[in-house]
Structure 1
Amino acid sequence: MRDSIASLRHKIRSAQDLKSVVRSMKAIASSSIGQYESAVHSLDDYYYTVKLGLAASLGSTNQYAASHGTSTPQDMAPQQGLPSSSRVPAVGVIVFGSDQGLVGQFNESMVEFVVASLGNIPGKKHLWAVGERVQSRLQETDLATEVCFALPNSIHGITDLVGKILISLEAQREQGVINQVYIFHHRPESNTIYRPVNQQLLPLDDVWQRQLMDIEWPSNNLPEVMPNQDQTRRAFVREYLFVSLFRACAESLASENASRLSAMQRAEKNIDELQESLNQTFHRLRQSGIDEELFDVISGFEALS
């Protein structure tokens, strides 16, 4: 009886300690979500500004010029300075996951989405994983990862990560290893916590340019790129690549912490239920022990009488 009560006391203390850890992780996840979501929201306006600059520098103002009866310089043709490839496609795939666990099905759902999406994309695949956990999940499939990047611990480390990815991308493209690049990551959602999405990062082809041309210019004054249009265009392209990767990483980290917060909330609920069950069992056994001792006292008193 005493061993059972001692064992229950140990389990109750362990549950209390585990609950303290879960609460700490909940607090960390909540604060992390705030900083990453703030970064994503702050990038929205900047991302839109970069796309407007690209639309202007690539000559997408033709529609505005035509509607206003003006002319647009011919040297802003959309095809100028853009990468193109007529070879058999070799696809570079950047997959954002997590470095740490306790995130539910975060990495598993991403790997399933990557496998299903890449089945519709022709060409040889070169996968780059961002996060050790998602890399280990990818290795369980037929898709082998060639490079693995470590995720930053805060918003300040995303810039260094994006810089490393861009340097590797440029080296691979110069060597002719890849000519297409896709990004896969989770995006925060209000109803389902997050959802997996993908984006074609390169090449900046006709489809991408037509999407830029659909953007409405925010004023009636037509933009003018000066003094060096080619230099300006290349600068906007570099900034577009950077902000696209930065945004994908920030959204993935926000989704990861949202998934971890949800997992910790479920764990806290399970711990509460376990504690209630343990406490009930403990009190029942303790009361049973007290009753037996009282019966022994009464039986001894009756025997002496």
Structure 2
Amino acid sequence: MSQTIGNLKRQIEGATDLQSVVRTMKAMAASEIVQFESSVRALADYSRTVELALSVCLRAADVKNLQQKPLPVGVQPRVAAIVFGSDQGLVGQFNTVICDEAIGALSSVPGEQMIWSVGERVHACLADTDSQLVGGFHVPSTVKAIAPLVGEILIEYERQTENHPATQLFVFHNRPKAGALYEPVSQRLLPLDETWRRQRSEMPWPTKNLPQVLGNDLQTMRKLTGEYLFVSMFRACAESLASENASRLAAMQRADKNIEELLETLTSSFHRQRQANIDEELFDVVSGFEALQR
């Protein structure tokens, strides 16, 4: 009986220590969510400025020079994709969901495919399929590390597609969703098709005075297009990180609840065993006293 009580006591102590670790991870995940969601909100104003500048350039630029040139005869189209996942576990189906979204969307796009993964977990998930992985990147742990990562991705993309200017570029990531943890989303960033140009050129200017582009409008537009790609990648990465930490926070909340229930069960069992042990000792004392009386 004493051994059973000792085992229960050790289990309670172990569960208590584990609960403290889980609650620490909950606090860290909640803090990370606030950090990345704040960066997305802060990026909205800059993104709006870039899109307004693009709208001015599109109004002033020669449409013929912006149209995509057809591929030469015999040249196969190419498709590039960036899939944002996680480097760490305790995120449930986070990587599986975005992996399935990417595979399903790319299956209907013709052409030679190149896929870069951001995160070791999603890289392993994509490796289990027939995806044509050409590289991978580590997931940034802070907001400050997102910008260098995006720069590396764009440099690698330009290097791989230097001789294929018409390569399509897709981005896949999880986005936080109201009423749910996250949802998988995809976006085609390149090439900038007619629909994209028309939507940007029709954006209303916030004032009555429409600005003019000084110098070479096409060169200015190329610079702004680079900023548009950077902002889009940065937002995708930040939203993916916010979704990852939201998934981890939900997992830690479930673990905390399970540990709390386990502690209640262990504590109840400990008290019952301890009371049974006391009752047994009292019974022995009373039996001995009665024997002495006889």
TM-score by length of 1: 0.90
Aligned residues: 290
- Inter-partner Cα distance in structure 1 for 2:179 and 2:112: 36
* Aligned twin of 2:7: 7
Correspondence for 2:43? 43
Question: Amino acid of the residue matched to residue 77 of structure 1?
Answer: D
Match of 2:241? Answer: 253
- Which of 149, 161, 179 is residue 161 of structure 1 equivalent to? 149
CA displacement at 1:280 relative to structure 2: 0.7
Counterpart amino acid of residue 287 in structure 2: S
- Contact 1:84-1:203 within 8 A present in 2 as well: no
8 A Cα contact 1:188 1:194, kept in partner: yes
Q: Is the 8 A contact 2:58 2:200 kept in 1?
A: no
Of residues 203, 227, 232 in structure 1, which corresponds to 2:191?
203
CA distance in 2, matches of 1:138, 1:38: 30
State which of 79, 96, 107 in structure 2 corresponds to 1:119: 107
What CA distance in whole angstroms lies between the structure 1 residues aligned with 2:217 and 2:102? 38
Fraction of identical pairs, as percent: 51
Q: Counterpart in 2 of 1:276?
A: 264
1:20-45 CA-partner distances (Å, limit 9, x unpaired): 11111111111111111111001111
* Structure 2 unmatched runs, 5+: none
Q: Does 1:184 align with 2:169?
A: no
1:265 aligns with 2:253: yes
Q: Which residue of 2 aligns with 1:91?
A: 79
Could you give the per-residue CA deviations for residues 206-231 of structure 1, whole angstroms, max 9, x where no partner exists?
A: 22212213422222222210022122
1:80 corresponding residue in structure 2 = 65
1:123 to partner: Cα distance: 2.0
Rate the CA distance shift 1:84–1:161 in 2: closer, same or farther, 3 A: farther
Asked whether the 8 Å contact 2:58–2:201 carries over to 1, the reply is no
How well do the aligned residues superpose, as a CA RMSD in angstroms?
1.6
Q: Which runs of 4+ in 1 moved over 4 A?
A: 81-85
1:5-34 Cα offsets, whole Å, 9 max, x none, are 111111111111111111111111111111
Separation (CA, whole Å) in 2 of partners of 1:136 and 1:155: 25
Q: 2:139 aligns with which of 151, 154, 159?
A: 151
Deviation at 1:82, TM superposition (A): 6.3
Paired residue for 2:130, among 142, 147, 150? 142
State the Cα distance separating 1:178 from its structure 2 match.
7.4
1:177–1:277 CA distance, 2 compared to 1 (3 A) = farther
Distance in 1 of aligned mates of 2:98 and 2:29: 20
Q: How far off is 1:78 after superposition?
A: 3.0
Q: Which moved more, 1:222-231 or 1:192-201?
A: 222-231
Determine whether 1:58 maps to 2:63: no
